[in-house]
């Protein structure tokens, strides 16, 4: 699914968190959005996901103008996301967390009597194994380590089988091993899933992304193939200061 924003502006009072940003991500593309702190990256994700209404501009998901759609409708169109701060079902176990995500995807929860669901259990098991969380199945999310929580955070989004995935700093705070696992998980996503990843970890960014968009103070200052952006002096200036 294509993801695009046009002339996107988000103002908080006098502050423009995003200022006439145009971004277009093709179906199946791996796009990274980078920039220093306060650049507006998370705001961008929040607007695409529908948690924030833009002051001006539009959001398109596929062919559809999604600007006025609520979050859950966009998710139903195929948009998945992770949050910068892990947003899990803390008091539930890892298994229950995943089960909820799968149930939400299947949209068949309007049944009012208990049902045994073998397919559900099988899928939960499969995802637990693929993500390396199998040994933590019965643990409540609140009692996971930080890295484990981040992995579950990504797994929940993946369990919804999105056709476009927004990732907000998935690598933050992960150990080297956890980073490898997550990178592997993301790399193994089907080719037609669009991925937009906001990250500070530039190694992961350039390992994963085909194109990179750079934001600074709410303005897009670069947008192109990863190698080009890496070499762009303006981008280096923004990260390293004027040379």
Partner 1 sequence: MLRRPASARYIALLLALALALASVPAWAPRFWIYIATQALIFAIFAMSLDLLLGYAGLPSFGHAAFYGVGAYACALLALREVDGLAPLLLVGAVAAALAAVPIGALSLRTTGIYFLMLTLAFAQMLWGLAVNWISLTRGTDGLIGIPRPTLPGLATLNITFYERGAFFILCLVVAIVTFVSLQALARSPFGKTLEGIRENERRMRALGCPTFRYRFAAFVVAAAFAGVAGALAAMSNGYATPDLLYWTGSGLALVAVVVGGARSLIGPVLGAFFVLFAQLGLSTFVERWELILGTLFIAFVLFLPGGLVGLVRRT
- Residues forming contacts to partner 1 in the complex (CB under 8 A) are 49, 51, 70-72, 75-76, 80-81, 83, 87-92, 96, 99-101, 103-105, 107-115, 117, 156-157, 160
Nearer to partner 1 among residue 168 and residue 201 (C-beta): 168
CB 219 within 8 A of CB 21: yes
- Nearest distance from residue 194's CB to partner 1, in Å? 16
CB 196 within 8 A of CB 1: no
Q: Which residues have C-beta within 8 Å of that of residue 127, sequence separation ≥ 6?
A: 98, 155, 158, 159
- Nearest distance from residue 96's CB to partner 1, in Å? 8
- Nearest distance from residue 87's CB to partner 1, in Å? 5
Nearer to partner 1 among residue 92 and residue 137 (C-beta): 92
Nearer to partner 1 among residue 90 and residue 175 (C-beta): 90
Q: Which residues have C-beta within 8 Å of that of residue 161, sequence separation ≥ 6?
A: 105
- Nearest distance from residue 239's CB to partner 1, in Å? 30
CA atoms of 129 and 120, how far apart (whole Å): 14
Alpha helices (H) along 108-145: 118-131
Angle formed by the axes of helices 176-187 and 118-131, to 10°?
130
Nearer to partner 1 among residue 103 and residue 230 (C-beta): 103
Nearest CA among 77, 53, 99, 37 for reference residue 166: 77
Nearer to partner 1 among residue 117 and residue 210 (C-beta): 117
CA torsion through residues 21, 27, 29, 32, sign: positive
- Nearest distance from residue 156's CB to partner 1, in Å? 7
- Nearest distance from residue 116's CB to partner 1, in Å? 11
Nearer to partner 1 among residue 4 and residue 93 (C-beta): 93
């Amino acid at each position: 699914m294509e993801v695009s924003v046009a002339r996107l502006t988000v103002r908080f009072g006098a502050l423009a968190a995003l200022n006439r940003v145009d971004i277009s991500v093709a179906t199946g593309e791996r796009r990274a959005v980078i920039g220093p702190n306060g650049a507006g990256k998370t705001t961008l994700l929040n607007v695409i996901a529908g948690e924030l209404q833009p002051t001006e501009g539009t959001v398109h998901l596929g062919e559809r103008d999604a600007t006025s759609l609520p979050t859950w409708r966009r998710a139903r169109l195929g948009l998945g996301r992770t949050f910068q701060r892990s947003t899990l079902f803390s008091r539930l176990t890892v298994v229950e967390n995943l089960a909820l995500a799968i149930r939400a995807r299947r949209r068949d929860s309007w049944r009012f009597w208990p049902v045994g669901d073998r397919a559900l259990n099988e899928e939960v098991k499969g995802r637990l194994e693929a993500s390396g969380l199998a040994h933590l199945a019965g643990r409540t999310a609140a009692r996971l380590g930080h890295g484990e929580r981040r992995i579950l955070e990504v797994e929940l989004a993946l369990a919804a089988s999105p056709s476009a995935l927004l990732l907000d700093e998935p690598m933050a705070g992960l150990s080297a091993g956890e980073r490898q696992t997550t990178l592997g998980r993301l790399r193994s996503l089907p080719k037609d899933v669009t991925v937009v990843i906001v990250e500070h970890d530039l190694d992961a960014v350039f390992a994963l992304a085909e194109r990179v968009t750079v934001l600074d103070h709410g303005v897009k200052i670069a947008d192109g193939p990863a190698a080009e952006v890496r070499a762009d002096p303006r981008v280096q200036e923004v990260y390293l200061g004027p040379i």
